[in-house]
Amino acid sequence: MNIPIRPVFSTLIVAFTLASCTVPRSLRTDVSAWNPKSPSPAWVERTLESMSLEEKAAQLVCVWTEGGYLAEDTDAWQNLLRLAGERKIGGFIFSVGDVYEYAMHINRLQAVAETPLLISADFEHGVGMRVRRTTTFPRAMALGATRNPDYAYRMGKVVAREARALGVYQNYAPVVDINNNPANPVINTRSFGDNPDLVAEMALAFIRGTQEEGVIATVKHFPGHGDTNLDTHLDLPLLTFSRSRFDSLELAPFKKTFEEGVLSVMIAHIAASAFDSVRGVPATVSPSISTNLLRRELGFRGLVVTDAMVMRGVSAKYHPAESIVLALKAGADLILMPPDADIAIDAIVGAVKRKELSEQRLDASVRKVLSMKDWVGLDDERFVDLDGISRIVASSEHLALARDIARKSITVLGNKSGLLPLGRIDRKMADLVLTDQDDLTAGIPFHRHLTRRLGSIPEIVLTPRSDSLDYRTALDSLLRADIVFSQLYFSIRSGEMTGFAPEPVRRLINSLIDSGKVVIGVSFGNPYLIVDFSRMDTYVCAYNGSSVVVD
C-alpha cells in the first residue's frame, strides 16, 4: 500500500509509508564488539557435570512470575522459592512490577538458587513495557518510521542498561516479523514495518546495542508471524506460502541477524506447509523447522527458545507433558512458560529415561543455557546492586532519547485542508475520543494539549460500553462543529483481538465526513485504520498512546 505523505510540522518527520523504501546502511555490525566478557567454558562444564538428570531437565524450564511484591508467607511466593531452590529451574520470565519490587524480587530468588537464574522479560519497547517508572519507548513501527538505525542502536543500549540494572539478562526482542498484513491481530506496531531490508537494518542495530551492554537479544517469531490473521495466543495460524516466498520475505531478517551474531531466537506456534509435510504442526514442535531449517539450513548456533507454551497455538493440540518433549526433540533449548513447571521437568526426565530423548541431547541444551548465563556474567555476580538503580533507570538521558524518537516518528498521511501545523482556528471545533478499552480517561492528555493550543474544545468519549444512544447523541453534538479532532485508541493487545475499529465507529466517522465536517484523525495505535478512514481530511500516525508520544 503506497500512501502519499507530505511534511507539515517542523517536529514531524514524515519519512514513513507502509510500503517499500531504500534503507540506509550506515551501521557497522561487528560481531566481535558484541562480547562483553570472555566465555568461561570451564564453569559451564563443571556446573553441567555436577548436575543430576532432574537438575539438568530443570535448567531448560523458564517459569512466568509477576514482578510485583509478594509477601513471604503467600502460596505464590513459596511456590517460586520451591521452584528456584528445590526444583532448581533455569530461570524466570518476569511480568509487570515496579522498579525496586523487580530488583528485590530477583535478588530474593537468586539467593535460593544453587545455579544462577537466567531472568528474562518482554521489553520490546523498553523496560517500561513491564516495569513502572522506567523508560518507555515508542513502538517498533514508530522506530522504523524514523528510518534511523542509530536510534534503534541507542534504544537497544538503553533498554539493556535498564534491564541489567534490575537483574534481567535476556530480552525477548526485537520482533523481526514483517508486518505486511494490515489485518494481523497480534504483530502490527510491534514490527519495524513491512519492508524486509528495513526490518533487518533496524533489528541489527537494536541487537548490537543490546548485546554490547551484556543482555541477550532474542529475535522472534521464527519463521515469521507478520502475515497471519490469527493470534497464536488463541489459535494456530497455518501459513501456506511457498518456500521461495519465505526465503525472500519472512526469513530474510532472521538470516541477517543469524549471520551477524544474535544470541537467541524464539520459535512461534505457527504451522508452515512449505517446511512440514504434515499439516497443522506448530513450528515449536516441528523438527523440520526448528532443526532442519533453523539449525542446518540457516546455521543458527545460539539459544532456541519456545514461545510461551501456555498459548493456545500449541496447548490446544497437545498435552503439556507431550508438547514439552516434542519441543525439545524438535530442537528447542529453553521451554518458556510451561503450563506447569513440575510437569515440564518430570516430562523431560521421563523422556530421557524412556530413551525418547537422549541425555546427550539434553546436555547440549543445558550447555547452551549455562553458556548464556556465563556470557552475561552470572557466574561472577548474580545479585542486583540496589544502590545503583537510580543512577541508570529512567535517567534524564534515557528519557530524552525516548522523546526524541517519538518526535521523529510521528507520520502525517494526508493534510487536505492544510490545517497542519495547527495555527489559529476560528471555526467551531470538537474533540472525539474513540477507544477499544473501557477507559473514560483516554484522550485526556492530548485533549489538554489541544485546549492549550486552541482554547476550549468540547470533548466526547466513546468506549466499548457506549450504546447506540450514546453514538446518536455524540453525532448530534459533533454535527454542531466544523472541525472534529478524532483521537483513535485502537491498539493490538495479545490474546484480545483488539486494534480494529468496530462498525459503529466507522459509521460515526463516515457520517461526519458525509455531512461535510473536516475530520482530523490521530491514531494512537493501529496505523492501518486509515484503510477504514481514507476519506478523513487529515490522518496522523502516532503508533501508540503512551505519554512519551502524546507529549
Q: State which amino acid sits at residue 528.
A: Y
Same domain, 365 and 463: no
Q: Is residue 26 part of a domain?
A: no
Same domain, 283 and 372: yes
Q: State which amino acid sits at residue 149.
A: P
Cβ–Cβ < 8 Å for 484, 425: no
Range of the domain at 492: 410-550
Q: Cα–Cα distance between 551 and 534 in angstroms, integer?
A: 26
**Opening angle at CA 96, ends 464 and 87, nearest 5:** 130
Alpha helices in 249-395 (DSSP H): 251-260, 287, 312-315, 320-330, 341-353, 359-376, 389-392
Q: Is residue 63 part of a domain?
A: yes
Q: Is residue 22 part of a domain?
A: no
Q: Cα–Cα distance between 61 and 347 in angstroms, integer?
A: 11
Same domain, 290 and 378: yes
Write down which residue in 344, 368, 396 finishes a domain. 396
Residue 496: C-alpha distances to residues 7, 230, 234, 436, 505 (Å): 35, 11, 9, 11, 18
Residue 160: C-alpha distances to residues 87, 170, 398, 542 (Å): 29, 9, 11, 25
Which of 435, 483, 487, 484 lies closest to 462 in space, CA to CA? 435
Can you spell out the DSSP letters for 379-447?
A: TT--S--GGGHHHHTT-HHHHHHHHHHHHHH-EEEEETT--PSP----S-EEEEEEESSS-TTTTHHHH
Q: For residue 226, what is the DSSP state?
A: T
pLDDT of residue 38: 64
Half-sphere exposure (CA, 13 Å, Cβ side) for 429?
18
Cβ–Cβ < 8 Å for 125, 138: yes
**Residue whose C-alpha cell is 517498533:** 140
Per-residue pLDDT of the chain (551 residues; tens, 9 = 90+): 332 222 222 222 222 233 223 222 333 334 334 455 567 889 999 999 999 999 999 999 999 999 999 999 999 999 999 999 999 999 999 999 999 999 999 999 999 999 999 999 999 999 999 999 999 999 999 999 999 999 999 999 999 999 999 999 999 999 999 999 998 989 999 999 999 999 999 999 999 999 999 999 999 999 999 999 888 999 999 999 999 999 999 999 999 999 999 999 999 999 999 999 899 999 999 999 999 999 999 999 999 999 999 999 999 999 999 999 999 999 999 999 999 999 999 999 999 999 999 999 999 999 999 999 999 999 999 999 999 999 999 999 999 999 999 999 999 999 999 999 988 899 999 999 999 988 888 899 999 999 999 999 999 999 999 999 999 999 999 999 999 999 999 987 876 667 789 999 999 999 999 999 999 999 999 999 999 999 999 999 999 988 899 87
Write down which residue in 336, 361, 396 finishes a domain. 396
Cβ–Cβ < 8 Å for 200, 152: no
Q: Cα–Cα distance between 443 and 431 in angstroms, integer?
A: 9
Same domain, 204 and 253: yes
DSSP-based three-state secondary structure for 293: helix
Same domain, 422 and 334: no
CB-count burial class (<10 Å; 0-12, 13-18, 19+) for 165: buried
C-alpha cell at 460: 466526547
Contact partners, residue 510, CB within 8 Å, separation at least 6: 535
Q: What is the pLDDT of residues 493-530, one digit of tens each?
A: 876 667 789 999 999 999 999 999 999 999 999 999 99
Q: Is residue 15 part of a domain?
A: no
Which of 494, 545, 537 lies closest to 513 in space, CA to CA? 537
Q: Is residue 59 part of a domain?
A: yes
Write down which residue in 346, 372, 396 finishes a domain. 396
Q: Is residue 403 part of a domain?
A: no
DSSP-based three-state secondary structure for 377: coil
Q: Is residue 401 part of a domain?
A: no
Mean pLDDT of the residues in the chain: 92
Q: Is residue 518 part of a domain?
A: yes
**DSSP β-bridge partners for residue 265:** 219, 304
Cβ–Cβ < 8 Å for 249, 196: yes
pLDDT of residue 40: 80
Q: Cα–Cα distance between 489 and 444 in angstroms, integer?
A: 12
Same domain, 377 and 444: no
Contact partners, residue 459, CB within 8 Å, separation at least 6: 430, 431, 432, 433, 443, 447
Same domain, 234 and 111: yes
- The whole model's pTM is what? 0.92
C-alpha cell at 432: 472525539
What is the rounded end-to-end Cα distance, in angstroms, of the chain? 29
pLDDT of residue 551: 78
CATH of the domain at 468: 3.40.50.1700
Same domain, 534 and 482: yes
Same domain, 349 and 494: no
Same domain, 284 and 375: yes
What is the number of domains present in the chain?
2
Angle, helices 359-376 vs 41-49, to 10°: value is 140
Which of 335, 338, 304 lies closest to 90 in space, CA to CA? 335
pLDDT of residue 5: 29
Cβ–Cβ < 8 Å for 254, 222: yes
**Residue whose C-alpha cell is 507502509:** 18
Same domain, 234 and 275: yes
Q: What share of the chain is helix, strand, coil (3-state, %, to 5)?
A: 40, 15, 45
Q: What is the pLDDT of residues 160-174, one digit of tens each?
A: 999 999 999 999 999
pLDDT of residue 497: 67
CATH of the domain at 384: 3.20.20.300
Q: Cα–Cα distance between 326 and 306 in angstroms, integer?
A: 11
Same domain, 230 and 323: yes
Q: For residue 175, what is the DSSP state?
A: B
